[in-house]
């Protein structure tokens, strides 16, 4: 699916941000905020919703790949928890940014999916 290409590109951005945090370098916070907004709007509210509303029920009804569908659904739910919901617009630096590690946590469960 083409939507997975969008997600892969955002995961590359998240990975670069994590590399910068790990090496104590600053990064542009607007990139993280806009990436999270894209994840929320396009990946979660559009792509994942299509899967959950149309594909997952068909697999469950046919009793096919139900375990996989359950795992994907769990990944969707975890991703929604990790995505930035309401950016504060506060400046971001590498000082005390442990919560900013969440993009990496989002990348781990979805990477096999894409």
Q: Residues 20-56: pLDDT tens digits?
A: 999 999 998 899 889 988 988 998 899 999 999 999 9
Answer whether 25's CB lies under 8 Å from 4's CB: no
* Percentage of the chain exceeding pLDDT 90: 42
Contact between residue 84 and residue 36 where contact means Cβ atoms under 8 Å apart: yes
13, 18, 21, 26 alpha-carbon torsion, rounded to 10°:
0
CA 61 to chain centroid, in Å, comes to 28
Residue 100 has pLDDT above 70, yes or no: no
Predicted model pTM: 0.67
User: What angle in degrees, to the nearest 10, is found between the helix axes of 29-38 and 2-22?
Assistant: 150
Amino acid 6: pLDDT: 87
């Amino acid at each position: 699916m083409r939507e997975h290409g969008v997600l892969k590109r955002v995961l590359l951005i998240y990975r670069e941000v994590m590399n910068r945090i790990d090496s104590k370098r600053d990064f542009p916070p607007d990139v993280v905020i806009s990436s999270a907004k894209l994840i929320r709007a396009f990946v979660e509210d559009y792509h994942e919703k299509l899967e959950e509303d149309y594909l997952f029920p068909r697999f469950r009804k046919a009793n096919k790949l139900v375990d996989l569908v359950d795992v994907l659904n769990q990944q969707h739910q975890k991703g929604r928890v990790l995505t930035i919901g309401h950016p504060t617009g506060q400046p971001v630096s590498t000082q005390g940014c442990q919560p900013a590690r969440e993009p990496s946590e989002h990348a781990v469960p979805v990477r096999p999916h894409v």
